[in-house]
Amino acid sequence: MAENPFLVNLTREVPSRSSTPSLKYCSSSVEDTVRELQTDSLKGLSDNQDIAYRRNIHGTNELTEEEDEHIAIKFVKTFYEDKLILLLIGSAAVSFWMGNTDDAVSITLAIFIVVSVGFVQEYRSEKSLEALNQLIPAEAHLTRNGSTQTVLASTLVPGDLVHFSVGDRVPADIRVTEAVHLSIDESNLTGENNPVFKNIDAIRSSEVVPVTGRESIAFMGTLVRDGHGSGIVVATGSLTEFGTVFAMMSEIEKPKTPLQNTMDKLGEQLSLFSFVVIGIICLIGVIQGRSWLDMFQISVSLAVAAIPEGLPIIVTVTLALGVLRMARHKAIVRRLPSVETLGSVNVICSDKTGTLTQNHMTVTQVWSVDMKDVPLDVHKALSQPLTRDITTLLEVSSICNNARYSPETERYVGNPTDIALVECLPHFCVEDMRGTRERVNELPFSSLRKYMAVCAHSGDKSKCETFTKGAIEKILEKCVSYYDKAGKPKPLDEKTRAQINDMAETLASKGLRVIALAKCAGTFTTEPSDMVFAGLVGMNDPPRPSVRKAIARLMRGGVHVIMITGDSQTTAVNVAKQIGMPINDPRVSVMTGDKLDSMSEEALAAAISNVSVFARTTPEHKVAIVRALQRRGDIVAMTGDGVNDAPALKLADIGISMGKMGTDVAKEASDMVLTDDDFSTILNAIEEGKGIFYNIQNFLTFQLSTSIAALSLIALSTLLKLPNPLNAMQILWINILMDGPPAQSLGVEPVDPEVMNKPPRSRNDKILTTAVIKRLLQSAATIITGTMFVYMREMKDEITARDTTMTFTCFVMFDMFNALACRHNTKSIFSMGMTNSMFNFAVAGSLIGQLCAIYVPFFQRIFQTEALSAGDLLFLLCITSTVFIGDEIRKFLSKSNGISSRYSYNV
């Protein structure tokens, strides 16, 4: 293999700003860059062995954060970063100093178990979050050996030829070789808000060129704001300019999510309450003459058991696992708090194209002025003669087009409208004409212009022609004549303009998207003018099959679905009716962009409750719609795929971008990405979000009822001057059950489909509602009563190992039945079945652990227990099942009262 000069003296170290490859190549011409990197400016790299060698030298094109601490160091730090664990360590040290070696060893072992359980949970949470970061890979449009395809940006190597257009994020540091109206937002790299216009010229300067002055370089991580371009990759990964910025960004610690902050606050309040109660217990015990060392050990152990220090960890794990489940349903959540927020969404504003529809535009009808009132069906085109006006129309649709053919996928890639126009050419036995033309100027399509223009010639620059396509009102206002059947221009009078508008309305009423095409001789400087109207094209994008059912379920669940589209009102209404959206009176249910412009935010907020469709809108209108909905107190989910959708996506409570057709900037501004671009996926995500909230309530009920029961049990024993029913090791084992697998398994309970029949929650709804508090107090009271009954029944004069074993086992079995009852708030376990395999394994493992504690000699010494008879276990089974039976009775009465209330209401 020939030596590659670019591979010399490169390391994986992060370069300084004054020595990056972009600095070198911004001053090199395109020819020099191509020659030095041994590539091709048209075909890209071709030698697979060479590509593999470059990847071996440079690694993957990723900015990976270095692991700053070894896992063992993190584990050790856990022991001294938790104040409660420090108290336990102090207790063990005091026990050892006092000669109580057995207690010291037991407490030390307990500390190790508790810390290990918490560490494993936290580590799983971190790994889940790391997995989420890999779910949205950056993509690049790559040409190798003359074949263009979309690949993961991580596979790029220096010398690759890549292409980028409006909304794309530049996948590496690239020496620009083609630039058409190319402007790039480099604010995340330079801090400058104004987009930088790029060109292919080398920078000539005797001084070091600053990053802001490297106009021939497109930097990794920056966003294409306008136009399109191509270029040669000169740096990947940490060698890019963004790599040096990433090194600084990686040092910033991520803040906790709002939900985690809420749970932390709840934990602080519970901790304060627990410490007060524990302090009183300790004080009373000492006053009663008990050993201060015993009371100290019991109090510290009780503190660990009573305070749900694992609550934030379990919440994070629950959210992360929920996100991974959503990913399997094609919904990738980029921010954890969005998982829970999804359950509160009561308004969904959705794009029509690609989300509600299949996003594969197909040209079905074409029309020119001389056709009068009968457009040509594309599928019947071969059976009819091809007139000159239709030939011109097809010429415009072919040349004014940016769709690219990919031999790898054997299909066109690019804008759906462009693809549809090129794919219809074979129906007329017409080939793509772009190979016979050379472009000299292009005005890219934008949401403000609403049209695209291309200036090209067939070899003679003096015979340039301008081709345009776009919204009918924009194209028509630039036209002064039209082509007749013979292909000759004729004056465009008001009658003909009215005829064109009438036909456009007719095509739109059939649910077709209508675009106009025009052509003229000559070129343009700023905007084309004096155009000749060629005709209209109607294309169809059918609704997705699953959308109608999804909208019906969302509406039953109290979610208002709004369709927002740039298409005409007629087209929008037609599609809305096909997918089952309520359009009873178009004057009330439909609003156009023009009407929206004339309304104040207050007026829009008042009128929007009855609107189901917004037509002829711009991305700016989306922002106004979101503001109006939020002004009413609605929780809004907004979908989008373009650069200009980013403000609305960011403003919405849940921004949803498209994974296939969405631009990188839209994905970055969003909270969730639909990898299949399918609206029905949103339904699954909202269902999951609602289910997660109820799961959080369920394991919170379990944890707090156990915590209250443990505290109350020790408090009652102390007040009644009875020996403590549980020793330190037994309390810590209960703590493991409370914060460990049984609690965590409640967080992954399968979502109940009935949650979609419940209305969305209010933004300010508390997790600990009155109903939840009543439920956990009922469970805690049952556990306390039953455990105290067993304790008083067993204890005679002095407390024995059997007494504590019976009490300890009673409490643990109560805990398992309580966990079973907490799987659902209102539905009987008998109707649910044992569908949560993680819960089944967690409870089974906990029971096996308890059996080991009372039957294995080694654990008997640790927990100070003795073996129980089968009769003892059967007796305890009958007692402890009362917490489950009581909750089942509560669910039955609640359901009966609910049915009675609905019956009375209906009567």
Give the per-residue SS3 of 179-229: EEEEEEECHHHHCCCCCEECCCCCCCCCCCCCHHHCCCEECCCCEEEEEEE
Cβ count near 199 (within 10 Å): 12
Three-state secondary-structure class, residue 9: coil
User: Rounded to an integer, what distance in angstroms lies between the CA atom of residue 344 and that of residue 636?
Assistant: 9
Are 289 and 345 within 8 A, CB to CB?
no
Min mean pLDDT across 461-470, 650-659, 728-737 is at 728-737
Query: For the domain that residue 424 is a member of, what is the CATH number?
Result: 3.40.1110.10
- In this prediction, residue 868 carries a pLDDT of 92
- In this prediction, residue 679 carries a pLDDT of 83
Is 695 inside any structural domain? yes
pLDDT of residue 256 exceeding 50, the answer is no
**723 plus 650 within the same structural domain:** no
Are 244 and 22 within 8 A, CB to CB?
no
765-801 in b/e burial notation, b at 16+ Cβ within 10 A?
eeeeeeebeebbebbbbbbbebbbebbeebbeeebee
Banded model confidence at residue 809, pLDDT cuts 50, 70, 90: very high
- In this prediction, residue 9 carries a pLDDT of 35
Cβ count near 492 (within 10 Å): 18
Q: What's the total number of domains in the chain? A: 3
User: Rounded to an integer, what distance in angstroms lies between the CA atom of residue 212 and that of residue 217?
Assistant: 10
Banded model confidence at residue 583, pLDDT cuts 50, 70, 90: confident
- Residue % of the chain over a pLDDT of 70: 80
pLDDT of residue 817 exceeding 70, the answer is yes
- In this prediction, residue 334 carries a pLDDT of 75
Is 623 inside any structural domain? yes
User: Rounded to an integer, what distance in angstroms lies between the CA atom of residue 299 and that of residue 301?
Assistant: 5
- In this prediction, residue 693 carries a pLDDT of 80
- In this prediction, residue 2 carries a pLDDT of 39
Is 423 inside any structural domain? yes
Helix, strand, coil % in the chain, rounded to nearest 5: 55, 15, 30
Domain that holds residue 587: 331-358+544-677
Phi, psi of 67 (to 5 degrees): -75, 110
- In this prediction, residue 217 carries a pLDDT of 94
Range with top average pLDDT, 9-13, 110-114, 443-447? 443-447
User: Rounded to an integer, what distance in angstroms lies between the CA atom of residue 426 and that of residue 646?
Assistant: 37
User: Rounded to an integer, what distance in angstroms lies between the CA atom of residue 131 and that of residue 134?
Assistant: 5
**696 plus 658 within the same structural domain:** no
Query: For the domain that residue 631 is a member of, what is the CATH number?
Result: 3.40.50.1000
Contacts 24+ apart (CB under 8 A), 771-777: 771/825, 772/697, 772/700, 772/701, 772/825, 775/701, 775/825, 775/887, 775/890, 776/700, 776/701, 776/704, 776/705, 776/708, 777/705, 777/708
- In this prediction, residue 298 carries a pLDDT of 64
Query: What mean pLDDT is predicted for residues 750-774?
Result: 77
**378 plus 344 within the same structural domain:** no
Is 860 inside any structural domain? yes
Tokens of 106: 């037991």
Q: List, in order, residues 6 or more apart from 755 with CB less than 8 Å away.
A: 343, 687, 690, 691, 694
Is 722 inside any structural domain? yes
User: Rounded to an integer, what distance in angstroms lies between the CA atom of residue 575 and that of residue 578?
Assistant: 5
pLDDT of residue 591 exceeding 50, the answer is yes
**293 plus 338 within the same structural domain:** no
User: Rounded to an integer, what distance in angstroms lies between the CA atom of residue 634 and that of residue 560?
Assistant: 10
**505 plus 384 within the same structural domain:** yes
- In this prediction, residue 10 carries a pLDDT of 35
**716 plus 861 within the same structural domain:** yes
User: Rounded to an integer, what distance in angstroms lies between the CA atom of residue 340 and that of residue 689?
Assistant: 5
Are 341 and 694 within 8 A, CB to CB?
no
Element (H, E) at 773: helix 770-794
Angle at 440 between CA 439 and CA 443, to 5 degrees: 90
- In this prediction, residue 112 carries a pLDDT of 73
**458 plus 557 within the same structural domain:** no
- In this prediction, residue 316 carries a pLDDT of 67
Q: Give the total residue count for the chain.
A: 907
Q: List, in order, residues 6 or more apart from 611 with CB less than 8 Å away.
A: 562, 588, 589, 590, 591
What is the average pLDDT score of the chain? 81
pLDDT of residue 905 exceeding 50, the answer is no
pLDDT of residue 900 exceeding 70, the answer is no
End-to-end CA distance of the chain: 88
pLDDT in tens, 487-513: 999 999 999 999 999 999 999 888 788
**450 plus 411 within the same structural domain:** yes
pLDDT of residue 447 exceeding 90, the answer is no
Query: What mean pLDDT is predicted for residues 651-671?
Result: 78
pLDDT in tens, 99-133: 556 556 766 776 676 566 556 645 554 554 444 44
**460 plus 379 within the same structural domain:** yes
Strand order of the β-sheet with 613-615 is: 331-333, 672-674, 654-658, 636-640, 347-351, 560-564, 613-615, 590-592
351-366 in b/e burial notation, b at 16+ Cβ within 10 A?
bbbbbbbbbebbbbbb
**565 plus 653 within the same structural domain:** yes
User: Rounded to an integer, what distance in angstroms lies between the CA atom of residue 65 and that of residue 126?
Assistant: 13
User: Rounded to an integer, what distance in angstroms lies between the CA atom of residue 132 and that of residue 154?
Assistant: 17
pLDDT of residue 407 exceeding 70, the answer is yes
Q: Is 403 exposed, middle or buried (0-12, 13-18, 19+ CB in 10 A)?
A: buried
pLDDT in tens, 215-245: 899 998 888 877 899 999 999 988 888 776 5
Tokens 């919904």 label which residue? 331
Min mean pLDDT across 60-74, 546-560, 583-597, 795-809 is at 60-74
pLDDT in tens, 153-176: 989 999 999 999 887 889 899 999
Q: Which of 707, 715, 723, 708 is nearest to 794 (CA)?
A: 723
Q: Which of 715, 709, 733 is nearest to 782 (CA)?
A: 709
Banded model confidence at residue 906, pLDDT cuts 50, 70, 90: very low
Banded model confidence at residue 136, pLDDT cuts 50, 70, 90: very low
Q: Which of 529, 559, 581 is the last residue of a domain?
A: 529
Tokens of 753: 């489909």
Banded model confidence at residue 737, pLDDT cuts 50, 70, 90: confident
Tell me which residues are annotated as active site.
Answer: 351
Between 757 and 132, residue with greater pLDDT: 757
Query: For the domain that residue 755 is a member of, what is the CATH number?
Result: 1.20.1110.10
Is 142 inside any structural domain? no
Is 145 inside any structural domain? no
Q: Which of 504, 529, 554 is the last residue of a domain?
A: 529
**566 plus 598 within the same structural domain:** yes
Is 395 inside any structural domain? yes
Q: Which of 506, 529, 552 is the last residue of a domain?
A: 529
**706 plus 828 within the same structural domain:** yes
- In this prediction, residue 560 carries a pLDDT of 92
Conformational region of residue 47, where left means phi above 0, alpha means psi within -120 to 50, and beta covers everything else: beta
Which amino acid belongs to residue 555?
Answer: M
- In this prediction, residue 174 carries a pLDDT of 95
